[in-house]
Amino acid sequence: MKLTQGADYGMAAVLYLSQRSEDRRYSLDEISRATEIPEEFLRKIFQTLVKSGIINSFKGRGGGVSLARSARDITVAEVIKPLEEEMGLVRCLREKENCPRSSECMASNFWRKTQQNFFEILNSTTIKDLIEGGKQNARKG
Amino acid sequence: MKLTQGADYGMAAVLYLSQRSEDRRYSLDEISRATEIPEEFLRKIFQTLVKSGIINSFKGRGGGVSLARSARDITVAEVIKPLEEEMGLVRCLREKENCPRSSECMASNFWRKTQQNFFEILNSTTIKDLIEGGKQNARKG
DNA sequence: CCTTAATTGGACTAATTTAGTCTTATTATA
DNA sequence: TATAATAAGACTAAATTAGTCCAATTAAGG
C-alpha cells in the first residue's frame, strides 16, 4: 500500500513551488537541486502535471515551470491522480470485467467504498491546506 | 496505490472459510480450487495468517485449515496487515530516519493522517460485516 | 540569425518488488 | 508404515517502478 515515487516527488515539487514567489519561473535544475529529486525523473513528473493543467511550462532561455493556479485551488488529488498509474486497491477494481467469484465481490464492495473515502480526503485537501498545516479536514464542506 | 495480491487473496480465502461450516477443516487443495487462488501461493498466505493467529492449521491426514476465531471477531485489518509487507504511503513514512526536507514533511503529516484514517476503517470492519454487506461503517462506536 | 538555455517526447535500462513455484521436512491418522 | 496433509524457506519469473538518455523543439539574447 504505497504511492508511486513519482506521486511522492510530485507533491514535494508542487509544495516547493507553492512556497515561493509566483512571479518567477523555476528551472528543473533549480527545483531538482532544492528538493533532491533526480532531475530527469522530475522532468517526467512535470510533463505529466503540465498535461493535467496544474503546471505551466515554458521552453527556451529563461524558461522553466510555474504553478498554473494558486495553491489554494490545487487539491492533493489533482497532483496524485495523474502520477499514480494504476488505481484500484484490489485486482477486481482494476479490471474491466466483473469478477466471477462472489466472495471476492463482498470484499470489493468494501474496498470500493474505502477507496472512495480515501479520495474524498485528497479531493477536499488543497496544497495550501498542507502548507498551513493541521487544518486539512476542515475544508470543502 | 494497491494492496498486494497476497492481501487480496487472503481476504478471499478468509471470506470463503467464513461462509462455511466452522466444524470442518478445509484442505488447501479444496480452497484453492474453489477460490481459484494458486495453491502454493495460498499455502504461503495461510502460513502468514496462522502466525498472526487468525487461522488454525492441522498437519497430516484429515488436516487442513479453519478460522481460529469467529468471523465476527476478525477485522479486515487483521487479515491485511500481516500480508502487506511494506506499509507507509510515502517514502518518508517507511523510512526510519526523519526526512531532511521540510516541504516533504508537510506532505508526510498529511499522508500519516490519511493513512491512519484508512486503517481505522479496516480496524472497525469485521469479516462478518463484509458478508452481511453494506453496514461496514456502522461499527465500533 | 546563431548560440545557448531551456522543455518535450519517447525509447531505453536497471533495480526492485511481487507473484508464484519447487523441494525437502515434518506430522498426524488410518 | 503408507499416505495425505501442512511447514519452512529457497528459488525463479514476470511485472512494475524508478530513473536515464537522447534527439528534437523552442524561445531569448547578443
Whether residue B136 and residue A110 make contact (CB cut-off 8 A), yes or no, is yes
Structural domains of chain B ordered from first start:
5-87+126-132 (1.10.10.10)
Catalogue the E-assigned strands of chain B. 55-58, 64-67
A114 CB below 7 A from strand C atoms: no
Rounded Cα distance between B44 and A76, Å, is 37
With 0-12 / 13-18 / 19 or more C-beta atoms within 10 angstroms meaning exposed / middle / buried, residue B134 is exposed
List pLDDT tens digits, range A85-130. 888 999 989 887 666 655 558 898 999 999 999 999 999 999 999 9
Tell me: pLDDT of A134 over 70. Answer: no
pLDDT reading at B5 higher than 70: yes
B5 CB below 7 A from strand C atoms: yes
Task: Give tens-digit pLDDT for B86-132.
Answer: 889 999 899 876 666 555 588 989 999 999 999 999 999 999 999 99
Nearest CA of chain A to the CA of B106: how many Å?
A: 6
pLDDT of residue B139: 39
